[in-house]
Amino acid sequence: MFACNVKDENRGGSDLELLNLRRARRPLQGFLIAFAVASTAFAQPSPTSTPSSVNPASEPAVLAVAKVLPAVVNINTERIVRRQVRDPFDDFAAQFFGVYRNRPREIRQRLQSLGTGFLVDPSGYIVTNEHVVERAADLKIEVITNDNKSYKARYITGDPKKDLALIKIDADKPLPFVNLHDISPNLLGETVIVVGNALGYGSSISRGVLSGMKRDITVDNVDYHDLIQTDAAINPGNSGGPLVDLEGRLVGMSSAKMAFTPQGVPTQGLGFAIPAEVVRQTVEQFKKIADKQPPPKTGAGAQENDSGRAAALFGLQLQDLTNDLADALGYARGRGVLISAVEPDSPADEAGFERGLVIYRIGKYDVNSVKEVERLLAGADTGSSVDFAVGIIGRSGRGRGVETVNLEAR
């Protein structure tokens, strides 16, 4: 290290020389001690200078998602849309002769859509957007929970103006749910998280802030009022899902995204949600309606949908033959049920049933309302054979002959 050319005090010398030697050594010793301490400080950094590690599992956003995600569900709907079409030649002929040669044919289109919802009660009540489960003919609602279990849901009620709806699934145990009695205070600038099934990808998360309150917008000719605004990404499929804060409390329900202004200007970071307070109040009203509804049917009638078993099994759309309608058509009053449409390639279509004919009897029982028809068909199932007495009886007793036709349910 360091060398010093001095006399050793053991080899003798005057007292003055020894004193000078000791004085010369003191500054050198102090320098060596200071150098050693400084070297140690650089070689071994202080523990306080080491950055502390953060466990991702303890992040507030992760905890909030883990809290709410078990209550979020994927909603798949399927509906049959009916529309009537005419042969183009008939349209051409009608321009010259003023009448159509044939009645329009009805075609059925099967439409599927997807969205999100979340459980608000352990008994299986789910709230979502009305536009996700809006009622239509032959509507079927399938709910897939976060643990990948599938349920058939039934529509309870909805409010198109608020774009909220309540559906119900039945499970054999209590289900996780979002507590509507502990909602977020909704403060501008607070961090919010969108949870849902964006583009069909389950358990998708996006994050942003609450960036606006009381927004009125129009999307696809639908008016929305008093919405909250967020820059968290809301994509197709997120509709009906929860928007939560970092405590996992409900901020609102994802409802709409504005991709373009009414003038066609593209936008960014403009997502909108229904406030949690509106969701809470509306769900309370919906539950009161649910309490007054009869329990769901079981057994053969459990699969009956909005269009009835006549449509599901035989392809028949029926309508009550009111006195006014009977008079307008020239039919006998108070007798039979009118066939309003026949599904192409259905058992009824193959048997020659046509729109405008009347069903007077099913089996050995006379029928005068759609309810009576549905009650008699409640026990029918795929493969069942049913006798229909079909024809037209005019006011004068004349008309197309009434014939009994046997149909086999599909």
Closest CA to 311 of 354, 358, 348: 348
Closest CA to 307 of 319, 295, 325: 319
Would you call 61 helix, strand, or coil by DSSP? helix
**Which two structure tokens, joined as six digits, stand for 287?**
């539950």
Closest CA to 357 of 375, 332, 340: 340
Closest CA to 117 of 67, 159, 171, 169: 169
Do 348 and 369 form a contact (C-beta atoms < 8 A)?
A: no
Q: What is the largest CA-CA distance in the chain?
A: 156
Whether residue 163 lies in the annotated active site = yes
Closest CA to 255 of 295, 216, 203, 294: 216
Whether residue 340 lies in the annotated active site = no
Whether residue 239 lies in the annotated active site = yes
Classify strands 337-342 and 403-408 as parallel, antiparallel or unpaired. Answer: unpaired
In the set 184, 204, 206, 239, the catalytic residue is 239
Classify strands 105-119 and 125-128 as parallel, antiparallel or unpaired. Answer: antiparallel
In the set 121, 131, 204, 245, the catalytic residue is 131
Backbone angles phi, psi at 236, to 5 degrees: -55, 130
> Which residue do the tokens 């029918």 mark?
380
In the set 163, 254, 307, 346, the catalytic residue is 163
| Interatomic CA distance for residues 4 and 26, integer angstroms | 12
Q: Which residues are known catalytic residues?
A: 131, 163, 239
